[in-house]
């Protein structure tokens, strides 16, 4: 997705050979027009999949997921990283380790919102080691829901997550695939046809 790539080049900051900071438009301050385009792109790519729900992880996956849900006209469910007073019983939960934050969280959703009758699209902001996506897959397996695929805004293709998820048999659609981060520069992987 060309506009996303241009925004990454213009506003993203390479902090190391594994960390790309995109808080100017995706995961702190949000560019609504860009999120709208991202949502439309995911909706186009998964239009024929029969999606009934979208599942994401708080908080950075919410904006692109909501925009895709708006276009597909389906509800968006987000897994919570921290329990609240209202999210205590009848939960699907999984453990997710964040390499960026160096912490492990239990993510949870209410069993009320995803069932075995659902066909679910997972959307997340980043794919690096795949831990967040595998946590969401685990939750959907607990619910016995059908997994339509995974939509990723930015994939770090030089890390193992995308390969692991694809090797597990899941469809992954990434809008920007990064080949490497070095010397303060982002290099994109050529799109596969």
> What are the φ/ψ torsions at residue 36 (nearest 5 degrees)?
-60, -45
Buried-exposed string 157-181: b where 16+ CB fall within 10 A, e elsewhere: bbbebbebbeeeebebbbbbbbebb
Question: How far is 175 from 96, CA to CA, in rounded Å?
Answer: 23
Question: How far is 40 from 34, CA to CA, in rounded Å?
Answer: 10
- Indicate left, alpha or beta for 104 from its phi (over 0: left) and psi (-120 to 50: alpha): beta
Binding residues for 5-phospho-alpha-D-ribose 1-diphosphate: 128-132
Binding residues for xanthine: 20, 27, 156
Residue 109: strand pairing partners: 92
Binding residues: 20, 27, 128-132, 156
CA 138 to chain centre: 14
């Amino acid at each position: 997705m060309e506009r996303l790539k241009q925004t990454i080049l213009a506003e993203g900051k390479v902090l190391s050979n594994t960390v790309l900071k995109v808080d100017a438009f995706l995961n702190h301050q949000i560019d609504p027009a860009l999120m709208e385009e991202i949502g439309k792109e995911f909706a186009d790519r998964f239009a024929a999949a029969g999606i009934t729900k979208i599942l994401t992880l708080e908080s950075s996956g919410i904006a692109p997921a909501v925009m895709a849900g708006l276009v597909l006209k389906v509800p968006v469910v987000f897994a919570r990283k921290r329990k609240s007073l209202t999210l205590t019983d009848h939960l699907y939960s999984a453990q997710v380790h964040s390499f960026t934050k160096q912490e492990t969280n239990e993510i949870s959703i209410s069993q009320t919102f995803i069932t075995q009758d659902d066909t679910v699209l997972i959307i997340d902001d980043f794919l690096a080691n795949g831990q967040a996506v595998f946590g969401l897959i685990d939750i959907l397996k607990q619910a016995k829901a059908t997994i339509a695929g995974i939509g990723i805004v930015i994939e770090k293709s030089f890390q193992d997550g995308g390969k692991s998820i694809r090797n597990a048999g899941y469809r992954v659609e990434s809008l920007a695939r990064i080949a490497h981060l070095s010397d303060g520069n982002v290099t994109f992987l050529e799109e596969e046809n």
